[in-house]
Amino acid sequence: DLSVELMNTWHVPRSSIKMGNLLGRGNFGEVYEGRWNDTTDVAIKIVRTNSSFDTFMKEVKTMISFKHENVLQIYAVCKEKWPYWIVTELVPYGNMLHYLGRFGHELSEVERLYMAFGIASGMAYLSKKRCIHCDLAGRNILMGQHNICKVADFGLSHKLKEMDTEEYYDATGHVVPFQWMAPEVLIQLKFTRKSDVWSFGVLLYELFTDGKRPYAGDLGAQQVQDLIKCGGRLKRPDACPNVVYHIMQRCWNFEHRKRPPFCKLKREL
């Protein structure tokens, strides 16, 4: 069991954490496995971007309040000096893309649907918390035991204010991964909770192709934008059931208000 001390405080000293092996690198830094006070296995995200302290704490404040089986749990931070550390639960199998690369050939259709259900459940929880993820993709899903998926990496996320009636987030200034982005993001640089739904449809494509890159990586941002505006969509993967592809197509409705909410997607999966 996780120590009460670790659960009830935001800050722990670096000296209490023993650094282990490198688990991976991303746009925001590196992630290592570690051990806290020789009692608890953890993951340590070392933030090496030029982000300010305020940006760093934004991610922490976003994550710290989340308590759901399918959302990565943050335990504490080490902010005594740069670079800052975020201490989270240790998820053993890395991100979904690596997992599919290793074990995809062994996964049944039922197991993939279970993974999709877990991701939809985590996103339904985040949506209820008025959080837009803004970067939902296979690379940001971590794999636990028994195919349990955890939504992770909230570096681009945004918490909607209670008074946001249109529920838009201006993405100006952010670099967005266009293959996963909804039309309103590509064209207007505006995120809504339904923008995450579009990205979920692309994530399902990844899940049923063992991590194949959407649009084969051959099209640029303008070409993808033009394709989507003309009604073009990703084709049904060979391993994808028709009923799941129908869900994907509904996630890709050009009009964001007509896309299904995650609470409905969760029930359908």
**Residue 264, annotated as binding a ligand:** no
**Residue 140, annotated as binding a ligand:** yes
Q: Report the alpha-carbon distance of residue 202 to residue 245 in Å, rounded.
A: 11
Residue 183 and residue 176 in contact, taking contact as beta carbons nearer than 8 Å: no
Q: Report the alpha-carbon distance of residue 160 to residue 45 in Å, rounded.
A: 25
**Residue 229, annotated as binding a ligand:** no
Q: Report the alpha-carbon distance of residue 68 to residue 90 in Å, rounded.
A: 15
**Residue 150, annotated as binding a ligand:** no
Residue 252 and residue 232 in contact, taking contact as beta carbons nearer than 8 Å: no
41, 135, 170, 226: the catalytic one is: 135
- Is residue 135 annotated as part of the catalytic site, yes or no? yes
215 CB-near residues (< 8 Å, 6+ apart) = 179, 224, 227, 234
Interior angle at CA 48, CA 210 and CA 136, nearest 5 = 30
Binding residues: 45, 139-140, 153
Binding residues for ATP: 45, 139
Catalytic residue numbers read 135
Binding residues for Mg(2+): 140, 153
